[in-house]
Structure 1
Amino acid sequence: MSGSNNLKVFSSPERYVQGRNATHQLGNEMKKLAMKGPVVVVTTATPKKLLGEAWTTSLKDAGYEHTELLFGGTCTAAEAQRIADHAVTQNAKTLVAFGGGQIIDAVRAAVGLVGDGSVCEFVSCPTVASTDAPCSALCVMYHEDHSFHEYRFMCRHPTLVLVDTTAVAKSPVRMLVGGLGDALATYYEARTVHEAHADNFLGGKQTETAIALSKLCCDILLEDGPAAVESLYCQAVTPALERVVEANTLLSGLGFESGGLCVAHSVHNGLTSQKETATYTHGQKVAFGILTQLILEGRPREELDTVLEFNHKVGLPLVLSGLGVDVSSEKAVCEIAERSLAPGESAHNEPFEVTVDMMVDAIRAADQAGAKFLKEKEVSK
């Protein structure tokens, strides 16, 4: 986005609701915001099985007529258009997304195609804490082969974000772990954007609030991340899980938009150029991007060790082979580096020029640091 004459810009959803069995309050929360029907709920089979009865009863009790549409599986331009076309045929005034990051982004993009909030409002209901998508106005669009396509920025944020932590506690552990990787990048990227006096994702400069929320996000994750992961193994809603869900969803969502992105997310986009990474989560790829960014920037070794230790504790990748990529393949590493430095990529928010050679070296050095760490851990057993 273009600059805003050095104006500071901060933006957020209108209302955020989180807690055990929150889906039972969906209709009431929508009424508080004077949201209108008809409502179209876009979902997949798993959220429907887990929460379908709760949202059906809640919407009905609040006086909302609703229909349901199954998500196609990937957030592509064609899928967003399909959802938008369905919303128009239903005369929908509100679209609700239950699921993960891709379904939320696809429905958000569909709302933009219908009228971006002026014609149809958006309710974001994540059932996993795997990305910071739920609170954002950003849509990350992919090609059918799961490679990164483009960013789309909507004019408005979700009117309501509702997170049922009972559902999150029953989600796959790897999804929460991926969310930790995505959210941990928030502070490291926002800090660099601040140092570079670059624009955030809203096209303005950072507020103090944005950088403070980013730091709080990082602090919560480092403190509570491992315990939150443990709670999912027994499907328990614990205080640690509640705090981490808030960090992954709200703090990271506000922090990355109003704080800005940098190398970690551009490396993610570069990694999507390799078909081997398609089965790995967004956050797993971002996690390796954090290591790359810290090395590229020449940050203190203590910071790199902190992230390596965190990744190891929660199960995030420390090396490229953890994402299916062979670091000895010069072609693969160069392709990742080149894609991460494409025009418009967030890596250009560094306070210095980043070249492909610099990125290649940083990727290799990050892999080496991870490999050394893992070897030392193995020896110490």
Structure 2
Amino acid sequence: MGYRTDFGRDHHRPLAVFASPGRYVQGPGATWELGTELKRLGLSGPVLFIAGGTARRTLAPIWQDTLPPVGVTPVVEAFAGECSEQEINRLVARAATQPFSAVVGAGGGKASDTARAVADELDLPVVITPTLASTDSPCSALSVIYTNGGAVEGFRFYNRHPLLLLVDTEVVARAPKRQLVAGFGDALATWFEARSCRQSHGCNVVGGYPTTTATALAKLCCDILLADGPAACSAVDAHATTPALERIVEANNLLSGLGFESGGLALAHAVHNGISEIPASHAMLHGEKVAFGLHTQLVMEGQPQSEIQEIYSYCRSVGLPTTLQQIGINPDDDEAIQRIAERTVIPGESSHNEPFEVTAAAVADAIRAADQQGRAYIN
């Protein structure tokens, strides 16, 4: 009697999928352990480092000292600042001049997005070493692609996650506080979007149903942000690493990364993508725009005022925007609001993971109502 091997073959329901980077390392001075970690992963020889300005100034000297003794030769290439097709193509062409064993992305979210794209083009493993805790992108297997002008152009999805994510919290503690706080905005939305995705039985970013694990991690992420956010801000003001900052960095990078990718996205990030269509918003950071997207989502979902007020209050306490004006948009500009709303609901956008039909008209109303509540709260 044989065993069945066709279980699920005739079912069209997606499987639950949880995805993650291969290894996560965090702490003060973690940069000094990068060589050990690369050796553990079996990487050696020339490695292409795509590095932002802070990484080149503060980390590159450590790489040059510590990597050659373990057999790794760092070849550092400056990241030009925008994760665009033009920048990806430039770096791929640069990498064609010699064989590399891996790509390391060092810097903010756009540097890591670019490194993932370059590694994918070259069919190489990728390692991410963030200098900021400003977004949840470092863990993921996707890149947000922008135009050279800063508008969201599209997304790239990859079959492989980073082999390693290594976060030096001494570097994060010295970064501008605004960057950390923007990370709060990106990470704060994680739980509320995962909750909506689970309610609607929507798929997560990796194409499966959210696991219970992913949803639980998204909730833990929110709990840590609400508990430790203000104390982490104080630590960064003092350029100090503290337990509160360590927990927040883990929430911004790891918990939010796992929570958004495996838990699913909903309206908040779709509104961010709409806001990015407005040139006046380009000076704002990703997480600042996501924060306003979260306000819009909570209003549109009709969540209890107690929950909405808690989020408004938190955002005010740490310095996240609660109004359109704070993200560079005139609240009386009906054309801009309509443009945001229409971009929010394009086919395939994560707004359709809400447990109800989402229309441009409803999004525009929710944006105006969220802005009005934000202004009332400030006053």
Q: Give the TM-score band, short-chain normalised.
A: over 0.9
2:202 matched to which residue of 1? 198
Compared with structure 1, are the counterparts of its residues 21 and 4 closer, same or farther at alpha carbon in structure 2 (3 Å cutoff)? farther
Instruction: Indicate conservation of the 8 Å contact 1:35/1:121, yes or no.
Output: no
Asked whether 1:45 is paired with 2:49, we answer no
In structure 2, C-alpha distance between the alignment counterparts of 1:212 and 1:333, rounded to whole Å: 34
Aligned counterpart, 1:297:
301
Alignment of 1:208 onto 2:212? yes
Partner amino acid for 2:144?
A: V
Question: Does the 8 A contact of 2:50 with 2:103 survive in 1?
Answer: yes
- 1:319 corresponds to which residue? 323
Q: 1:361 aligns with which of 357, 361, 365?
A: 365
What displacement does 1:177 show?
Answer: 0.6
Alignment correspondent of 2:6: none
| Aligned 1:88-107 pairs, distance under 5 A | 88-107=96-115
Task: Give the corresponding residue for 1:370.
Answer: 374
Distance 1:213 1:138 in 2: 19
Instruction: Determine the structure 1 residue equivalent to 2:258.
Output: 254
Q: Which runs of structure 2 are paired with 1:150-299 in the superposition (5 Å)?
A: 150-299=154-303
Q: Which amino acid aligns with 2:347?
A: P
Summarize deviations over 1:323-365 as a string: whole Å, max 9, x none.
1101111101101111111121100111111111100000000
CA distance in 2, matches of 1:263, 1:131: 17
Pair 1:110-2:114 in alignment = no
Deviation readout 1:179-219 (Å, 9 max, x if unpaired): 00000000000000000000000100011100000000000
For the residue of structure 2 that corresponds to 1:38, the secondary structure is strand
* 1:56-71 equivalences in 2 (<5 Å): 56-71=64-79
Give the counterpart of 2:310 among 303, 306, 313: 306
Q: What's the offset of the Cα at 1:36?
A: 3.4
Q: Among residues 29, 33, 38, which one is paired with 2:37 in the alignment?
A: 29
The residue number in structure 2 matching 1:378 is none
Contact 1:121-1:159 at 8 Å conserved across structures = yes
Q: Which runs of 5 or more residues in structure 1 are unaligned?
A: 376-381
Q: Is the 8 A contact 2:103 2:126 kept in 1?
A: yes
**Other structure's SS at 1:65 match:** strand
TM-score (norm 2): 0.96
Amino acid at match of 2:190: T
Let me know the Cα RMSD of the aligned residues. 1.1
Q: Among residues 130, 134, 156, which one is paired with 2:134 in the alignment?
A: 130
> For 2:249, what is the secondary structure of its paired residue?
helix
Kindly provide the amino acid, as one letter, of the partner of residue 224 in structure 1. Answer: D
Q: Compute the displacement of 1:89 (Å).
A: 1.7
The alignment status of 1:78 with 2:90, answered yes or no, reads no
Is 1:40–1:95's contact at 8 Å kept on the other side of the alignment?
yes
Q: Does 1:349 align with 2:353?
A: yes
Contact between 1:186 and 1:261, CA under 8 Å: does it hold in 2?
A: yes
Percent identity (aligned): 48
Paired residues, what number?
Answer: 369
Kept in 2: contact 1:226–1:314 (CA 8 A)? yes
How far did 1:6 drift? Answer: 2.4
Does the CA contact (< 8 Å) of 2:53 and 2:107 recur in 1?
Answer: no
Q: TM-score, normalised by structure 1?
A: 0.95
Please state how far the C-alpha of 1:63 moved relative to its aligned partner.
1.2
- What is the letter of the counterpart of residue 295 of structure 1? V
Name the SS of the counterpart of 1:140 in structure 2: strand
Q: 2:19 aligns with which of 1, 4, 11?
A: 11
2: CA distance, partners of 1:59 / 1:236: 27
2:89 counterpart letter in structure 1: Q
TM-superposed CA distance for 1:4, in Å, is 7.1
DSSP 3-state at the match of 2:45? coil
Partner SS for 1:89: coil
8 Å Cα contact 2:52-2:108 kept in structure 1: no
Tell me, yes or no, if the aligned pair for 1:43 and 1:99 is still in contact at 8 Å: yes
Work out the CA distance in 1 between the residues paired with 2:327 and 2:37: 40
Q: What is the CA deviation profile of residues 228-282 of structure 1, one whole-angstrom value per residue up to 9, with x for unaligned ones?
A: 1111111010111000000000000000000010100000000011111101100
